[in-house]
Structure 1
Amino acid sequence: METNDDSKSAATAEPHNAYLEEKAFKSRTLLIFGTITDAVAADVTRRLIALDADSGEKPIDIFVSSPGGHLESGDAIHDIVRFISAPVNMIGTGWVGSAATHLYLAAPSERRVCLPNTRFLIHQPSGGAGGQATDIAIQAQEIIKARQRIAHEIARETGRPIDTVLADIDRDRWLSAEEAVDYGLVSRIIQRKIELR
């Protein structure tokens, strides 16, 4: 009897994925890679709550490499990081942009680190407004409110004046790891896990 190669590889992948999931949970490590969506937010917040229930004192490490995505999904992760009791280390790698920068700022300054080749992107939110003129006006007002909120968060977490931040996020503002440290997004650049503790 012939077996389907796809079903064999899927069956092999399932135990492997379960093993990796268990290892990640035991090491109290989460990955936020790729676009931030409501599904990503639901998965990450569920894991954060589970890890917090496991221990409210041991740190949780979150590796972030994301271009951003849905702002409110980033908000959900941001708020849960602050809601739980367990301390959270945010570790930037690859690139941390837009809504990903927002959730990255949920950790206190001393717990925000990055690897040497990380790049950061801050900018104002964008939206694809459509529909009737009154609906477009409402959406525009909401984007302006979100811009103010993001700017205040960046200002509070970096110690920069709000007017400076508003000017900085008017267009895409890219920062290297070193520039992100100077700006106040990141406390320090690390190269090895031992430097995290």
Structure 2
Amino acid sequence: MTIWPPPQIPPFPPVRTPWRTEPRPSAPAPMSTQVAAAPGPLADRLLDHRIIALTGNLDRDASGRTVAALALLDASGDQPVRLRLTDVAADLDTAFTVLDALDLMRAEIHVTCLGTVAGGALAVLVPARHRIASPHSLFHLCEPDAVCIGVGIEAEAARHRDRMRTLTARIADTCGRPESDVAADMRAHRILTADEARDYGLIDTVTGAHPA
């Protein structure tokens, strides 16, 4: 006997075996996350020209890629390495990771700043031989966020204060200013234009044409 139309048979549930992994739902991309020093053809071409481009929040993964790229370029020649900072911010720990790598470089570091450079990302300017900014760049002097590493609150607070003193001292030495003045500006969240940052000592030159 033939039944028409044929009955609708519900699909069988998928068989679960140890040889087939469960499909995972794709998580939505974070709205505010940006990638710094992202791998890819463009980054590879920039590395060929000894350029490292950083943008967005310099998190642990991005700082690790940056350190690896710096080591590769330093081992491959003595020509200057150019860092291009576009709207970069960093917490204190990742800032010191990159700063330590820059301090170990034999090649000169040349930095070009575009957009806003904020917080711990200012540490990248410290060891640079040449520091250039676009006319509309901004420099946000502020205390970087602290990252808890599982220790007690008091120990973490003391560690943060020690690192802040070190960062402030390095910036003050670079700018030729009293450490107390730089510390006060960071507590006050002072924002400098490109011209003000040049006068402050954070950068050497403002490049590009100013609007009439």
Give the TM-score taking structure 2 as reference length.
0.73
State the secondary structure of the residue aligned to 2:139: strand
Give the structure 2 partner of residue 41 of structure 1. 63
Give the structure 1 partner of residue 84 of structure 2. 63
State the secondary structure of the residue aligned to 1:100: helix
State the secondary structure of the residue aligned to 1:169: helix
% of aligned pairs identical? 23
**Could you list the per-position Cα deviations for residues 76-118 of structure 1 after superposition, in whole angstroms to 9, with x for gaps in the alignment?**
111212212111101111110001111222213xx11111111
Structure 1 position 98 matched with structure 2 position 119: yes
State the secondary structure of the residue aligned to 2:135: coil
Structure 1 position 167 matched with structure 2 position 167: no
Structure 1 position 124 matched with structure 2 position 143: yes
Give the structure 2 partner of residue 136 of structure 1. 153
Give the deviation of 1:65 after TM superposition: 2.0
Give the structure 1 partner of residue 75 of structure 2. 53
Equivalenced residues, count: 171
State the secondary structure of the residue aligned to 1:144: helix
Give the structure 1 partner of residue 16 of structure 2. none
Give the TM-score taking structure 1 as reference length.
0.79
Paired AA for residue 55 in structure 1: G
Structure 1 position 23 matched with structure 2 position 45: yes
Structure 1 gap ranges (5+): 1-16, 193-197
Give the deviation of 1:48 after TM superposition: 1.0
Q: Any conservation in 1 of the 2:58–2:89 contact (CA below 8 Å)?
A: yes
Separation in 1, partners of 2:72, 2:147: 35
Structure 1 position 76 matched with structure 2 position 93: no
Paired AA for residue 164 in structure 2: R
Compare CA radii of gyration and give the structure with the larger one: 2
Give the structure 1 partner of residue 108 of structure 2. 87
State the secondary structure of the residue aligned to 1:35: strand
Q: Any conservation in 2 of the 1:67–1:95 contact (CA below 8 Å)?
A: yes
Higher helix share: 1
